[in-house]
Structure 1
Amino acid sequence: MSTAPEQKFSYGGETITYRLERTSRRKTVAISVGFDGIRVLAPVDMTDSDVNGYVRKKAPWVLKKQSAYRDLATETQPKEFVSGESFHYLGRPYRLRVIEDPAAVLTRVAARGQTLVAPVLPQQNELVRRSAIRSGLRHWYMEKAKARFPERLEIVSSDLGISPPALRVVDQSKRWGSCDKSGKIRLNWRLVMAPTSLIDYVIAHEACHVLEHNHSHRFWRSLETIMPDYESRIERLDRIGHRLIW
């Protein structure tokens, strides 16, 4: 997503850094904590100083939420890339099945029903095997993302009344998407693991930046016009986002 202005202050020996975004939909300040940090939504007519003062008052709550979120992320079991593990595609779970194949010089993952089949060489070193399976899964997801994202972008662009902007699928661990000044959109391949409604939110957010390069009143009005429930989608993406990072 387009980079929002960062604000920071110290509290109790901790530095709290948050992204400030403004929207005409809000009469009060809303704070959310997600896998990519702290996000603050504020009314368009509230000064930065007043917003900062509000966030300071909420600092104990913010730090508590950050701590709980870190604990939640820690509780998420790291992937071992072995048979039986669950991986998601478009929000639906798929079971990984690892099979030995003497011809599997490269591990190319294929979907069979609700199973992701990963062929590997027999008697392969365990670490090498896991790396090969991870690489195979990443390639499979990248290809799915390259096929799925343009389809969704075309729909969103039509809703906005613009031509579909240039799109690249990229590998990044901290952002779901971004839009540069030229209007080119970049989307994280991991997003294809999320439900389509959340994919559409990120794409809609970035497509609106083609019209407005900041989080102005016009930006949020454009987003709200094509996606009235965008705030609930943001909250859901914040809740599940950490599960999609491996």
Structure 2
Amino acid sequence: MPPPDPALPTQLSLFDEGQPAPAGRAASPEVRVPPALVEPAAPDPRQPRPQRELVVDGHRIAYALRRSRRRSIGFVVGPEGLAVSAPRWVGVAEIEAALREKSAWILRKLQEQRERAARLAAARVEWREGATIPFLGEAVILVLDPRATGAVLHTDATALPGVPRLTLHLGLPQTAAAEQIRDTVQSWLQRQARHVFEERCTLFTARLGVRMKRLSLSSAATRWGSASADGSIRLNWRLVHFALPVIDYVVTHELAHLREMNHSAAFWEVVRSALPDYEQARGALRHQLLPVLD
């Protein structure tokens, strides 16, 4: 087997693989449902345009129909609603029969998108005094403090259970604009991300017996990290919002690629050798929701 091309990094997706629609005569085995996104979505997952409608058991299902060269009918439920792809020769009646057959699955996925949109709205950060951001799995309260230099994290060891014990004092006036607060906090988070990632990489390179050539921060919208055969590792700086066990899983995942540039059984054994409970952290990562920082 030829060696891996260092120009083609192995990447850990921000998303899981999509799940297909339930098997049935009208649905293609290629049908996939996009996994939960972490980027901002419309607060109300309206249906794509152009729209068609079908009422099934009292439920209105709106969908966009796209004609394609595929040989079967396919469904995709995303933030904008339901999209249907069908061959040019398939009539609307047959398409709607397929929709009725899959209606339970479609309605469930549409509801999941609505719930996710609501969570995203709740996760949007308001850049003001007293707002909170997640850092290493804990809530941090923002404090505008002109006496501070840059951004300084304070810990209150006496905080009651359930009350945030961390405050981030920003060297900004009370009149600071939201953009100033956002930029100051994001710069601080990125500095902390590099410090934390370097520390965790040092720990896990020793456990795995690998040599990392370079660590870079990424702002990728679809990847938590990537590894190249030349020893370069890229980690999404926004991992710093999550607790250390989740960060450790992504770090271990990427460093393990320096021994196995694939996702074979051997690769997962390498991951397990350094992080025996990686499956728990991997599962937690799938359910993480990033705060919306725009």
- TM-score, length-normalised on structure 2? 0.58
1:163 aligns with 2:211: yes
The one-letter code sitting in structure 2 at the alignment partner of 1:150 is E
Shift of 1:210: 1.2
Q: Is 1:16 aligned with 2:32?
A: yes
Cα offset, 1:227, TM superposition: 1.8
Shift of the 15–63 alpha-carbon distance from structure 1 to 2, 3 Å rule, reads farther
CA distance in 2, matches of 1:9, 1:88: 33
| Residues 1:72 and 1:178: Cα distance change in structure 2 (over 3 Å) | farther
- Aligned twin of 1:53: none
Letter in 2 for 1:81: W
Residue equivalent to 2:131: 85
Distance 1:35 1:183, change over 3 A: farther
Aligned equivalents of 2:178 and 2:197: distance in 1? 28
Pair 9,236 (structure 1): closer, same or farther in 2 beyond 3 Å:
closer
Equivalent runs, 1:108-147 vs 2, <5 Å? 108-113=150-155, 114-121=166-173, 123-124=175-176, 129-147=177-195
Task: Report the aligned-residue RMSD.
Answer: 3.5
Tell me how far 1:149 sits from its aligned partner: 0.7
Tell me if 1:95 matches 2:147: no
Matched, 1:174 2:232: no
67-76 or 2-11, which moves further after superposition? Answer: 2-11
Q: Secondary structure at the match of 1:135?
A: helix
Corresponding position of 2:11: 2
Q: Does 1:150 align with 2:198?
A: yes
Q: Distance in 2 between matches of 1:120 and 1:244?
A: 22
Larger radius of gyration: 2
The change in CA–CA distance for 1:195 and 1:121 in structure 2 (over 3 A counts) is same
Counting matched residue pairs gives: 203
- Take 1:191 and 1:123, find their aligned partners in 2: how far apart are those partners? 30
The answer to whether the Cα contact below 8 Å between 1:156 and 1:203 also exists between their aligned partners in 2 is yes
Secondary structure, in 3 states, of the residue corresponding to 1:164?
Answer: coil
Q: Secondary structure at the match of 1:162?
A: coil
1:196-246 CA-partner distances (Å, limit 9, x unpaired): 11110000000111112221121111112222221211121222x223442
Shift in alpha-carbon separation, 1:145–1:224, aligned structure 2, 3 A: same
* Structure 1 unmatched runs, 5+: 19-32, 38-56
Q: 1:219 aligns with which of 242, 257, 267?
A: 267
Q: Distance in 2 between matches of 1:182 and 1:9?
A: 36
User: In 2, distance between residues paired with 1:176 and 1:73?
Assistant: 21
Deviation at 1:136, TM superposition (A): 0.5
Match of 2:105 in 1: 60
Aligned pairs for 1:38-53 (under 5 A) are none
Given the superposition, is the C-alpha separation of residues 177 and 149 from structure 1 closer, same or farther in structure 2, using an over 3 Å criterion?
Answer: same
Partner of 2:280: 232
- 8 Å CA contact 1:168–1:185 kept in 2: the answer is yes
Give the structure-1-normalised TM-score.
0.68
**Aligned-partner Cα distance in 2 for 1:192–1:3:** 16
**In 1, Cα distance between the equivalents of 2:235 and 2:263?**
19
State percent identity of aligned pairs: 27
Q: 1:83-132: per-residue Cα shift (whole Å, max 9, x none)?
A: 1112222212211112357xx9xx932212221112334655xxxx1111
Name the one with the larger helix percent: 1
* Distance in 2 between residues matched to 1:145 and 1:151, nearest whole Å: 10
Secondary structure of the equivalent of 2:270?
helix
AA paired with 1:115?
T
**CA-to-partner distance for each residue in 1:117-162, whole Å, 9 max, x for gaps?**
12334655xxxx1111111111111111111111111111111111
Q: Quick one: distance in 2 between partners of 1:64 and 1:205? A: 32
Match of residue 21 from structure 1: none
Q: What letter matches 1:93 in structure 2? A: A
> CA 1:153/1:189 → structure 2, altered by over 3 Å: closer, same or farther?
same
